[in-house]
A = this chain, B = another copy of it.
Amino acid sequence: MQIGLLGYGAIGKGIYQTLKDRFQDIYIKKILVRNLNNKDTSFFVTDLEEILNDDDIDTVIIAIDDNKTSYDFATMSLNAKKNVIMTNKSAVANHFSELLKMADSKGVSFKFESVVGSGLPWLSTILEYKNVNEISEVYGTFNGTCNLILDLMKKDGIEFNEALLKTRILCYQEPNYMDDIKGEDSANKLAISIMVALGAYVEPKDIPTYGIETIRNLDFDFFERRELSPKLVSFAKLTNGRLSMLVAPFLFKQGTLMANVSGNNKILGFKGDIVGEVQFIGEAAGVYPTANSVMLDVLDIKNNRCSKIVMPNEVIVDQTAIKHKFYFSFDQTSSKIERILIPYVHSIFETQDSVVITTRNIDFDTCIDLLEKIEMTGERFFFAVYAD
């Protein structure tokens, strides 16, 4: 089996190295790079056509950060009847159906195991289990940077910006770290999981998404006293064919599993009607876990064992099916905000530097509406969902 590799950054190099170390009968024939810089031109190329026109190459692995380039190269490769393995989650999330349809029509495979929970057998297990189960729910702490920031704030008692800086130094961050902390990375991964597991078509932009960028250490004071631990969670559930979905900080009771998944680990879970609940935990990020998932895609293609991915269907989004208590914190009392929240208030806690308002049980829909109104006041606030 001969492969064309597009991109030779950290991920590309990890894929190349792993393939070389572990397989004799699978190898990379050509690598597409932007600049040759004296590289061996019999192996490195700068023109994609050299790979697409090479009949020995049946599979293309795309290890490119840029979303648009990733997507463009995917369509070109599929059109050239190459199997495509992608590592760029935004490109997969935003062009899922189109790329899947293109692959189907060309009779090739479109694989992307590494894009959610890389290293963990997340999408592959879901696809296998769908042969036996109706899957009704997917969730997880999909973003490692957010896990780590929240962990650092909790353990070291530091503020958000300091924790953010520390995670950047620790190199856990993707180049575009604002996508991480604003929840966009989590929304991309949730969209892919929804389409694969629940068979429902969604675009990442349609998922209500709230990040952790406004959390303060004062919030942790409140959480600690109540033995709560915040995690940025992606959540989606089908109830009678209607879809609820949300990316937001959730508050978990200390002593629960979700509260105790530490630092650079992620937890991903799904529910099937036969198997019940299945959870995966692992670092789920980094060069070699990604390479591991890409290798599994390569082997599936080589052994002709790719699980069928069903084209996702349009479904009705209904955010009223799930009810939770919610947490809002502000810098100061504001009559505007009180007017918005007062019909839903459970408790109000005021200190010198913050006001915390918790609500009674309300549905996602109502909460999203409240959030829009609060955003319009221009006040800084942090928002979280009580997990139960």
Q: Is A204 an interface residue (CB 8 A)?
A: no
Q: Is A121 an interface residue (CB 8 A)?
A: yes
- Listed stretches A4-12, A185-193, A289-297, A339-347; interface member: A289-297
Chain B hits for A348, CB < 8 A: none
Chain B hits for A281, CB < 8 A: 257, 278-281
Q: Is A214 an interface residue (CB 8 A)?
A: no
Distance between A57 CB and nearest chain B CB, rounded to angstroms = 21
Kindly identify which residue among B128, B277, B289 contacts A282, using a CB–CB cutoff of 8 Å. Answer: B277
Rounded to whole angstroms, the CA-CA distance of A291 and B275 in the bound complex is: 8
Kindly identify which residue among B275, B278, B283 contacts A277, using a CB–CB cutoff of 8 Å. Answer: B283
Q: Is A18 an interface residue (CB 8 A)?
A: yes
Q: Is A75 an interface residue (CB 8 A)?
A: no
Q: B260, A119: Cβ atoms under 8 Å?
A: no
Q: Is A39 an interface residue (CB 8 A)?
A: no
* Size of interface on A: residues with Cβ below 8 Å to B: 42
Q: A119, B278: Cβ atoms under 8 Å?
A: yes
Q: A119, B276: Cβ atoms under 8 Å?
A: yes
Q: Which residue of B lies closest to A118 (CB)?
A: B275
Q: Is A165 an interface residue (CB 8 A)?
A: no
Kindly identify which residue among B262, B291, B299, B305 contacts A274, using a CB–CB cutoff of 8 Å. Answer: B291
Chain A 260-284 residues near chain B, CB threshold 8 A? 260-262, 265, 272, 274-283
Residues in A lying within 8 Å of B, measured CB to CB: 18, 22, 119-121, 124-125, 128-129, 131-133, 254-257, 259-262, 265, 272, 274-283, 286, 288-289, 291-292, 295-296, 299, 303, 305
Task: Given contact pairs A22-B132, A119-B275, A280-B281, enumerate 19 new A-B contacts (beta carbons under 8 Å).
Answer: A18-B274, A22-B131, A119-B278, A121-B121, A121-B278, A128-B296, A129-B296, A131-B296, A131-B299, A132-B299, A257-B262, A260-B260, A274-B291, A274-B295, A276-B282, A276-B288, A277-B282, A278-B282, A279-B281
